[in-house]
Amino acid sequence: MKSATTVDAENLLSLKTDILEYYLAPILPRECGRSVPKRLKRSVGGTPSIIGGWPWQAAIYDVKRGDIICGGALIHEEWVLTATLCLTIDGTSRARNRDDLIVYLGKHYRNNSLDDEFVQQKQVSSIILHEHSNVWNYDSDIALIRLTKPAILTDRVQIVCLPTGFDLSQQNLENGKQGWVAGWGHDASDILSEELTEVEIPVLSNRKCRNDTIHFTGDPSTTRTLTLNNFCAGYGLETSFE
């Protein structure tokens, strides 16, 4: 379990202005962020989302492991945004073999046998890692997956809106501001979720995030994962949703 969720804010903008604009500027969608209404219930550890509530959510599936290893976001019919850590060989900065990964869109259940006809399965065409990604402190932990075939946009599969500079500014990300996290991570009992789970969490100040992380792990060196490019969100020591 983690005491807070860290988001690579500065490098998301860097990736957007550099890699994303180079590859996607001519074809970025004008319409994004369309989904079904979400529950307003908030719960530490998260609750199962409404099916289709996060239509840009991608599940990155490890063929050899036979399970979801990471989440991602559909930012264009052919592109998924995710973390570099999800796409590198453990302990190295080398990209994984694209044939070892499958991307699922419109997915709700972890178990593939529960998928319905609205789930789309996509092969990986290429992997692009942030050139400054650091596997030791997770700085610039951001990457792109290109799909071999474009996603078909439906009520269950939609494109997420990329953040603006103001969205990720310190002015906007003030302590206590609310945001949402969704994925198939660990729940409050440290068990992997069987359904796509959502939780609304507040932004934490960097000072509180560092203090909580040290207290939670007992290791002062863990604060190296929080750089000037990151911000934290969660419920301090009670946060258990990844």
Asked whether residue 204 falls in the same domain as residue 137, the answer is no
Nearest-angstrom CA–CA distance, 135 and 236? 24
Structural domain includes residue 181? yes
Asked whether residue 141 falls in the same domain as residue 215, the answer is no
Burial 203-236 (b: 16+ CB within 10 A, else e): bbebeebbbbbeebeeeeeebebbbebbbbbbbb
Report whether 122 contacts 102 (CB < 8 A): yes
Q: How many domains does the chain have?
A: 2
Secondary element (H or E) of residue 15:
helix 9-15
Q: What was the pLDDT predicted at 238?
A: 45
- Which residue positions in the chain have pLDDT lower than 50? 1-4, 17, 40-43, 238-242
Nearest-angstrom CA–CA distance, 227 and 136? 12
Nearest-angstrom CA–CA distance, 87 and 99? 12
Nearest-angstrom CA–CA distance, 108 and 53? 9
Structural domain includes residue 164? no
Q: How many CB atoms lie within 10 A of CB 21?
A: 12
Q: How many CB atoms lie within 10 A of CB 169?
A: 13
Bridge partners of residue 199, in order along the sequence: 181
Q: What was the pLDDT predicted at 241?
A: 30
Please enumerate in sequence order all residues whose Cβ is within 8 A of that of 213, keeping only pairs 6 or more positions apart, or say none.
3, 4, 222, 223, 225, 226
Structural domain includes residue 88? yes
Structural domain includes residue 47? no
Q: What was the pLDDT predicted at 217?
A: 60
What's 13's domain CATH number? 2.40.10.10
Q: Domain range spanning residue 227?
A: 177-233
Asked whether residue 107 falls in the same domain as residue 189, the answer is no
**Per-residue model confidence as pLDDT tens digits over 120-177:** 999 999 999 998 887 777 788 899 999 999 999 999 999 999 988 888 787 777 778 8
Asked whether residue 12 falls in the same domain as residue 121, the answer is yes
Structural domain includes residue 226? yes
Q: What was the pLDDT predicted at 156?
A: 96
